[in-house]
Structure 1
Amino acid sequence: MNADQILAEIREANLSYLMLAQSLIRTDREQALFRLGVSEDTAAMLATLTPAQMMKIASSNTLLCRMRCEDDLVWSLLTSHGKSAANDGVSRLHASILMAGRHQEAA
């Protein structure tokens, strides 16, 4: 993949993220704050963006979303390496609980 393709992929990811974020915020603000990991002020700003503003912001060469999961334990639970399918649901639930706790700590 060359540099132009990477930039195009970043722009597409940015636009998709902004559209999803705005939709989540307008549908269920509290859940959006938790799922997106953004502040109330950021959510308020995202909710009011026009399509033209979203296109302009998405055109940046910087990826707007980031991996919020930086913990090896959470990644291990999410990927369920070496675990049976029966434990997969429990592992994902455990990871969600850990991530929710970290969201509360950050807030």
Structure 2
Amino acid sequence: MNSDQILAEIREANLSYLMLAQSLIRADREQALFRLGVSEETAALLEALSPAQMLKIAACNTLLCRMRADDDLVWGLLTNHGKSAANEGVSRLHASILMAGRHREAA
């Protein structure tokens, strides 16, 4: 994949993320804050974006979203390394709780 293709993929991911974020915020604001990991202020800004503004913002060469699973513990819980399928639900719930707690600390 060359550099132009990578930038095109980033723009597409950014636009998809902005559209999804706006849709989630409009449908259920509290759930959107949790799922997106954004503050109330950021949610208000995202909700107010016009389509033209979203296209302009999406055109930047940096991904707008970021991984919330940023350590080995969370990745281990999400991928269930070394665990049986019976524990999968508990592991995913534990990972969600950890990521939600980190969002609250950052906000």
The amino acid across from 1:22 in the alignment is Q
After superposition, what is the alpha-carbon deviation per residue over 1:22-62, rounded to whole angstroms, capped at 9, x for unaligned? 00110111111111111111111110111111111111111
SS at structure 1 position matched to 2:67: coil
SS at structure 2 position matched to 1:76: helix
SS at structure 2 position matched to 1:83: coil
Distance 2:18 2:34 in 1: 16
- Equivalent residue number for residue 83 of structure 2: 83
Distance 1:101 1:38 in 2: 13
**TM-score under structure 1 length normalisation:** 0.95
Distance 2:40 2:101 in 1: 18
Distance 2:40 2:98 in 1: 22
The amino acid across from 1:86 in the alignment is A
The amino acid across from 2:99 in the alignment is M
SS at structure 1 position matched to 2:76: helix
| Matching of residues 1-107 of structure 1 within 5 Å | 1-107=1-107
Unaligned 5+ runs, structure 2: none
Unaligned 5+ runs, structure 1: none
Give aligned pairs, total.
Answer: 107
SS at structure 2 position matched to 1:81: coil
% of aligned pairs identical? 85
SS at structure 1 position matched to 2:65: coil
The amino acid across from 2:43 in the alignment is A
Runs of 4 or more consecutive aligned structure 1 residues displaced over 6 Å after TM superposition: none
Aligned residues: CA RMSD: 0.9
